[in-house]
Amino acid sequence: MTATIALIAHDSRKDDIVSFATTYAPVLARHRLIATGATGQRIQAATGLPIELKLAGPSGGDTQIAAEICDGDVIAVIFLVDPLYAQPHEPDIQALLRVCNVHNVPLATNLSTAEVIIHRLAKQQVAHLIYNPVAGQGTGEQDLELIRQLLQPHMSLHIHLTTAEIDPEELVNEAIAANADIVIASGGDGTVSAVAGALIGTGISLGVIPRGTANAFAAALGIPRLLPIRAACQVILAGNTLTIDAARCNGLPMILLAGVGYEAEAVDLASRELKNQWGAMAYLMAGWQMLGVQEPFEAEIEAEGETYHIQASAITVANAAPPTSVLAQGAGQVIYDDGLLDITIATSETKMQAVTTMVKMLGSALVGADAQQQNVLHGRAKDIKITTTPPQKVVVDGEVIGMTPIYLECIPNGLSVLAPIAGGLLS
């Protein structure tokens, strides 16, 4: 489902459409192109643009293009016609005209109208949506249709669906190669993190449409939890851009946080079935179960040229985090643009002490104050290495990635994001 431009020309107008495509190649290159056989071959030879060739006009190529218009993928048709001497075997403008009128698709039949369309497209932002269809509560098709309705009238929207075989990073690289203005990630925090990781250092803005279980990054951006898809699309269309830090953990992209010990075990315990049934409550239920069984561990932490040895039940290293990411709140807030990572170390001897600690840390986050608890330590560093005895599970941006040891590094000003002008951690 990619924003597509169709190119057709009668025989006497093929030189004109080749010249047109050569002149406006930079605009055409940002879209998927389809064309009837001979027309597409000539444009391809002259410009080098990738074009999906349909059948020749007399063999039904124009009918194939009409079918794509009906499917909703075509955003414009350039059909240069010969009004005086068109041959009987050449494509018929009337059938395409009817389909374009039915589906409200602009159709140019001469160079002047073609230039009007191409100039409009040149001013329109090109957005590539990386969409995880299995995220959320099983409403993938309806959610995608809503996103299309909200965004397509305002931008050229190219839609890429993630699969088990296709890594989101591959899809982002395609978008970068196509000179995208915006790349939008729609799914859970794992999908968002993968897309963001591929955008680090590119300067291309990241848009986020939350459809996962926790949606912590969307919360950190200040995207409202009520009607999140509509709210997120409004944020994207508003175009307010912020530059924030990014990070890597063992080479993997990290935009939120890494958890060692308790948090990783809780995330691992919250199965897909549990999340589908209970949503974000699944993490609370899993976390409650872990309170009684999580054993303290020995940790060696290397940061800023110093080495520290400490006993811990949970270690959290955060780049950005909303107040609800309780175990990241050792200082009451996580600073997202200081070029440093926040590390919070917590330990507890009893289940009650663990509950009390987390309640106090949540309160500290809500008021933005230091937790000031004896069993909670906090610091900031640009890079951090954590080794534990015994090895502990590690979760990064909601996905369990393996076991300790881990090495984390901050990437200052690494990511451009579309966020509300006010609200959330990024206000």
Residues known to be catalytic: 62
Tokens linked to 75: 């955003």
Q: CA 184 to CA 218: how far, in whole Å?
A: 12
C-alpha dist (Å) from residue 356 to 135, 284, 310, 350, 352: 33, 15, 21, 10, 6
Burial 267-305 (b: 16+ CB within 10 A, else e): bebbeeebbeeeeeebbeebbeebbeebeebebebbbee
Strand partners, 1: none
Side-chain-facing half-sphere of 148: CA atoms under 13 Å = 17
Q: CA 398 to CA 263: how far, in whole Å?
A: 9
C-alpha dist (Å) from residue 397 to 7, 96, 286, 321, 338: 43, 48, 17, 10, 20
**R_g of the chain computed on alpha carbons:** 26
Q: CA 18 to CA 193: how far, in whole Å?
A: 42
DSSP letters spanning 215-239? -HHHHHHT--SSSHHHHHHHHHHHT
C-alpha dist (Å) from residue 216 to 88, 263, 285, 299: 61, 14, 17, 26
- Residue 139: CB atoms within 10 A of its CB come to 13
Say if residues 232 and 218 touch (Cβ distance below 8 Å): yes
In the three-class reduction of DSSP (H, G, I as helix; E, B as strand; rest coil), residue 412 is classed as strand
CA angle 399, 276, 346 (to 5 degrees): 40
Q: CA 255 to CA 316: how far, in whole Å?
A: 13
Q: Please list, in sequence order, all residues whose beta carbon lies within 8 angstroms of the beta carbon of residue 123, skipping any fewer than 6 positions away.
A: none
Best CA proximity match to 338, nearest among 266, 404, 243, 202: 243
